[in-house]
Amino acid sequence: MSNLENMTLSMLKELEPKIPSLSGFISRNLVRTYSEFVEVLYRDIDRIIYKIQENPELRQNDSEDRLTIDIINLLCMMGYNASHDTKVRGHADILVVKNDFMWIGEAKIHSSYPYLWKGFQQLSTRYSVADSNQKDGGIIIYIRQANAREVMDKWRKHLLKKNLSNYSCTTCEIRKLCFFTSHEHVSSGEPFRIRHMPVILHFKPQDHGSTPSGGAASAYEQTE
Protein backbone atom coordinates (compact mmCIF):
# COMPACT_ATOMS: atom_id res chain seq x y z
CA MET A 1 0.00 0.00 0.00
CA SER A 2 1.10 3.58 -0.59
CA ASN A 3 2.88 5.90 1.77
CA LEU A 4 0.07 7.08 4.02
CA GLU A 5 2.14 9.87 5.47
CA ASN A 6 2.73 11.85 2.30
CA MET A 7 -0.07 10.73 0.03
CA THR A 8 0.26 12.53 -3.30
CA LEU A 9 -2.58 13.00 -5.77
CA SER A 10 -1.01 10.48 -8.15
CA MET A 11 -0.65 7.90 -5.37
CA LEU A 12 -4.33 8.32 -4.57
CA LYS A 13 -5.17 7.87 -8.25
CA GLU A 14 -3.14 4.66 -8.36
CA LEU A 15 -5.29 3.25 -5.57
CA GLU A 16 -8.55 3.83 -7.44
CA PRO A 17 -8.58 0.50 -9.31
CA LYS A 18 -8.22 -1.31 -5.97
CA ILE A 19 -10.63 0.97 -4.12
CA PRO A 20 -13.13 2.11 -6.78
CA SER A 21 -15.20 4.23 -4.40
CA LEU A 22 -12.19 6.53 -3.97
CA SER A 23 -12.49 7.55 -7.62
CA GLY A 24 -13.49 11.17 -7.82
CA PHE A 25 -12.66 11.92 -4.18
CA ILE A 26 -10.72 15.06 -5.06
CA SER A 27 -13.25 16.17 -7.70
CA ARG A 28 -16.10 15.84 -5.21
CA ASN A 29 -14.23 18.05 -2.78
CA LEU A 30 -13.39 20.71 -5.34
CA VAL A 31 -16.92 21.22 -6.65
CA ARG A 32 -17.76 24.91 -6.71
CA THR A 33 -20.57 25.39 -9.25
CA TYR A 34 -23.90 23.67 -9.79
CA SER A 35 -22.84 22.25 -13.15
CA GLU A 36 -19.67 20.78 -11.58
CA PHE A 37 -21.79 19.29 -8.79
CA VAL A 38 -24.08 17.57 -11.26
CA GLU A 39 -21.27 16.45 -13.55
CA VAL A 40 -19.38 14.78 -10.69
CA LEU A 41 -22.60 13.31 -9.28
CA TYR A 42 -23.49 11.70 -12.62
CA ARG A 43 -20.02 10.17 -12.87
CA ASP A 44 -20.50 8.67 -9.41
CA ILE A 45 -24.04 7.46 -10.11
CA ASP A 46 -22.73 5.76 -13.27
CA ARG A 47 -20.04 4.00 -11.21
CA ILE A 48 -22.69 2.80 -8.76
CA ILE A 49 -24.96 1.62 -11.58
CA TYR A 50 -22.08 -0.31 -13.16
CA LYS A 51 -21.47 -1.96 -9.81
CA ILE A 52 -25.14 -2.91 -9.37
CA GLN A 53 -25.25 -4.31 -12.90
CA GLU A 54 -22.50 -6.78 -11.95
CA ASN A 55 -24.98 -8.90 -9.97
CA PRO A 56 -28.40 -8.75 -11.63
CA GLU A 57 -29.22 -12.28 -10.51
CA LEU A 58 -29.31 -11.04 -6.92
CA ARG A 59 -31.63 -8.17 -7.78
CA GLN A 60 -34.51 -9.91 -9.48
CA ASN A 61 -36.86 -9.65 -6.52
CA ASP A 62 -35.67 -6.31 -5.15
CA SER A 63 -38.33 -3.64 -4.88
CA GLU A 64 -37.96 -0.14 -6.31
CA ASP A 65 -37.21 1.18 -2.83
CA ARG A 66 -34.65 -1.54 -2.07
CA LEU A 67 -32.75 -0.82 -5.29
CA THR A 68 -32.91 2.93 -4.74
CA ILE A 69 -31.83 2.77 -1.11
CA ASP A 70 -28.77 0.77 -2.18
CA ILE A 71 -27.81 3.54 -4.61
CA ILE A 72 -28.33 6.16 -1.91
CA ASN A 73 -26.28 4.19 0.59
CA LEU A 74 -23.37 3.92 -1.83
CA LEU A 75 -23.60 7.67 -2.51
CA CYS A 76 -23.51 8.33 1.25
CA MET A 77 -20.42 6.15 1.64
CA MET A 78 -18.71 8.29 -1.01
CA GLY A 79 -19.51 11.29 1.18
CA TYR A 80 -22.68 12.57 -0.47
CA ASN A 81 -25.47 13.97 1.61
CA ALA A 82 -28.03 11.74 -0.05
CA SER A 83 -31.34 10.59 1.35
CA HIS A 84 -34.46 8.64 0.51
CA ASP A 85 -38.05 9.76 0.87
CA THR A 86 -37.04 13.20 2.14
CA LYS A 87 -39.84 15.76 2.09
CA VAL A 88 -39.29 18.24 -0.75
CA ARG A 89 -42.73 19.28 -1.95
CA GLY A 90 -43.51 15.56 -1.57
CA HIS A 91 -41.35 12.55 -0.83
CA ALA A 92 -38.62 12.34 -3.43
CA ASP A 93 -36.97 8.99 -4.11
CA ILE A 94 -33.47 10.45 -4.06
CA LEU A 95 -32.36 13.80 -2.76
CA VAL A 96 -28.72 14.86 -2.95
CA VAL A 97 -27.78 18.12 -1.27
CA LYS A 98 -24.52 20.06 -1.32
CA ASN A 99 -24.77 23.39 0.48
CA ASP A 100 -27.54 25.15 -1.45
CA PHE A 101 -27.32 22.81 -4.42
CA MET A 102 -29.95 20.16 -4.79
CA TRP A 103 -30.47 17.25 -7.15
CA ILE A 104 -33.65 15.21 -7.10
CA GLY A 105 -34.00 11.77 -8.60
CA GLU A 106 -37.02 9.62 -9.30
CA ALA A 107 -36.55 5.88 -9.68
CA LYS A 108 -38.86 3.41 -11.41
CA ILE A 109 -38.79 -0.27 -12.27
CA HIS A 110 -39.78 -0.28 -15.91
CA SER A 111 -43.15 -1.89 -16.45
CA SER A 112 -44.70 0.47 -18.98
CA TYR A 113 -44.04 3.88 -20.52
CA PRO A 114 -47.07 5.48 -18.85
CA TYR A 115 -45.51 4.37 -15.53
CA LEU A 116 -42.22 6.04 -16.43
CA TRP A 117 -44.18 9.12 -17.49
CA LYS A 118 -45.76 9.18 -14.05
CA GLY A 119 -42.25 9.33 -12.60
CA PHE A 120 -41.31 12.10 -15.01
CA GLN A 121 -44.33 14.09 -13.93
CA GLN A 122 -43.66 13.53 -10.23
CA LEU A 123 -40.12 14.80 -10.69
CA SER A 124 -41.05 17.72 -12.96
CA THR A 125 -44.27 18.95 -11.43
CA ARG A 126 -44.20 17.92 -7.79
CA TYR A 127 -40.68 17.75 -6.33
CA SER A 128 -38.73 20.30 -8.35
CA VAL A 129 -38.99 23.97 -9.26
CA ALA A 130 -35.91 24.20 -11.54
CA ASP A 131 -34.51 27.26 -9.76
CA SER A 132 -30.77 28.01 -10.05
CA ASN A 133 -29.89 25.66 -7.18
CA GLN A 134 -31.77 22.69 -8.68
CA LYS A 135 -31.62 23.02 -12.42
CA ASP A 136 -31.16 19.29 -12.92
CA GLY A 137 -32.90 16.10 -11.92
CA GLY A 138 -32.75 12.47 -12.90
CA ILE A 139 -34.84 9.44 -13.65
CA ILE A 140 -33.33 6.06 -12.85
CA ILE A 141 -34.99 3.25 -14.77
CA TYR A 142 -34.47 -0.30 -13.53
CA ILE A 143 -34.85 -2.57 -16.56
CA ARG A 144 -35.37 -6.29 -16.07
CA GLN A 145 -36.41 -7.05 -19.61
CA ALA A 146 -33.98 -7.58 -22.47
CA ASN A 147 -32.61 -4.79 -24.65
CA ALA A 148 -32.23 -1.70 -22.49
CA ARG A 149 -31.30 0.25 -25.62
CA GLU A 150 -34.72 -0.43 -27.11
CA VAL A 151 -36.47 0.56 -23.86
CA MET A 152 -34.57 3.83 -23.72
CA ASP A 153 -35.25 4.59 -27.38
CA LYS A 154 -38.97 3.94 -26.93
CA TRP A 155 -39.03 6.03 -23.76
CA ARG A 156 -37.36 8.83 -25.70
CA LYS A 157 -40.03 8.64 -28.39
CA HIS A 158 -42.76 8.51 -25.77
CA LEU A 159 -41.49 11.76 -24.25
CA LEU A 160 -41.31 13.46 -27.63
CA LYS A 161 -45.06 12.93 -28.06
CA LYS A 162 -45.84 14.78 -24.84
CA ASN A 163 -45.34 18.20 -26.42
CA LEU A 164 -43.47 19.64 -23.46
CA SER A 165 -42.69 23.33 -23.73
CA ASN A 166 -39.23 24.13 -25.20
CA TYR A 167 -38.42 20.44 -25.19
CA SER A 168 -35.09 19.11 -26.38
CA CYS A 169 -33.33 15.77 -26.10
CA THR A 170 -29.65 14.86 -26.39
CA THR A 171 -27.68 11.65 -25.99
CA CYS A 172 -25.29 11.52 -23.06
CA GLU A 173 -21.70 11.49 -24.26
CA ILE A 174 -20.40 9.75 -21.14
CA ARG A 175 -22.84 6.83 -21.06
CA LYS A 176 -24.50 6.23 -24.39
CA LEU A 177 -27.55 4.49 -22.97
CA CYS A 178 -28.44 7.64 -21.05
CA PHE A 179 -30.01 10.73 -22.50
CA PHE A 180 -30.81 14.22 -21.35
CA THR A 181 -34.07 16.03 -21.81
CA SER A 182 -34.71 19.67 -21.15
CA HIS A 183 -38.04 21.40 -20.99
CA GLU A 184 -39.51 24.57 -19.57
CA HIS A 185 -40.49 23.94 -15.98
CA VAL A 186 -44.10 24.90 -15.38
CA SER A 187 -43.42 26.40 -11.93
CA SER A 188 -40.35 28.54 -12.64
CA GLY A 189 -40.45 28.89 -16.41
CA GLU A 190 -36.76 27.94 -16.35
CA PRO A 191 -35.22 25.03 -18.24
CA PHE A 192 -35.22 21.79 -16.27
CA ARG A 193 -32.70 19.22 -17.43
CA ILE A 194 -33.29 15.57 -16.66
CA ARG A 195 -30.84 12.74 -17.13
CA HIS A 196 -32.54 9.44 -17.92
CA MET A 197 -30.40 6.56 -16.65
CA PRO A 198 -31.07 2.86 -17.17
CA VAL A 199 -29.93 0.19 -14.75
CA ILE A 200 -29.65 -3.08 -16.67
CA LEU A 201 -31.01 -5.83 -14.47
CA HIS A 202 -31.95 -8.28 -17.20
CA PHE A 203 -30.69 -11.76 -16.33
CA LYS A 204 -31.51 -14.70 -18.52
CA PRO A 205 -28.39 -16.75 -19.23
CA GLN A 206 -28.73 -18.98 -22.25
CA ASP A 207 -26.34 -21.66 -21.04
CA HIS A 208 -28.42 -24.70 -20.14
CA GLY A 209 -29.78 -24.96 -16.61
CA SER A 210 -27.99 -21.93 -15.20
CA THR A 211 -30.90 -19.61 -14.47
CA PRO A 212 -30.83 -19.65 -10.68
CA SER A 213 -34.26 -18.40 -9.78
CA GLY A 214 -36.13 -19.71 -12.79
CA GLY A 215 -38.97 -17.40 -13.68
CA ALA A 216 -37.92 -14.10 -12.15
CA ALA A 217 -36.11 -12.72 -15.19
CA SER A 218 -38.33 -14.29 -17.78
CA ALA A 219 -41.44 -12.78 -16.25
CA TYR A 220 -40.16 -9.36 -17.32
CA GLU A 221 -39.60 -10.51 -20.89
CA GLN A 222 -43.28 -9.99 -21.51
CA THR A 223 -43.32 -6.34 -20.51
CA GLU A 224 -43.07 -4.77 -23.94
**Binding residues for other proteins (CB under 8 A):** 1-10, 12-13, 15, 18-19, 21-22, 25-26, 28-30, 32, 73, 76-82, 97-99
What does the DSSP assignment read for 59-109? STT--HHHHHHHHHHHHHHHT-EEESSEESSSEESEEEEETTEEEEEEEEE
For the bound state, the minimum distance from the C-beta of residue 99 to other proteins, rounded and expressed in Å, comes to: 8
DSSP designation for 142: E
Smallest CA-to-CA distance from 39 within 184, 220, 175 is with 175
Taking the least distance from each CB to other proteins, the nearer of 47 and 126 is 47
Taking the least distance from each CB to other proteins, the nearer of 32 and 208 is 32
Are 86 and 106 in contact, with CB atoms under 8 Å apart? no
For the bound state, the minimum distance from the C-beta of residue 135 to other proteins, rounded and expressed in Å, comes to: 18
Taking the least distance from each CB to other proteins, the nearer of 74 and 130 is 74
Taking the least distance from each CB to other proteins, the nearer of 31 and 172 is 31
Q: Phi and psi of 163, rounded to 5°?
A: 50, 50
For the bound state, the minimum distance from the C-beta of residue 45 to other proteins, rounded and expressed in Å, comes to: 15
For the bound state, the minimum distance from the C-beta of residue 24 to other proteins, rounded and expressed in Å, comes to: 10
CB atoms within 10 A of CB 32: 7
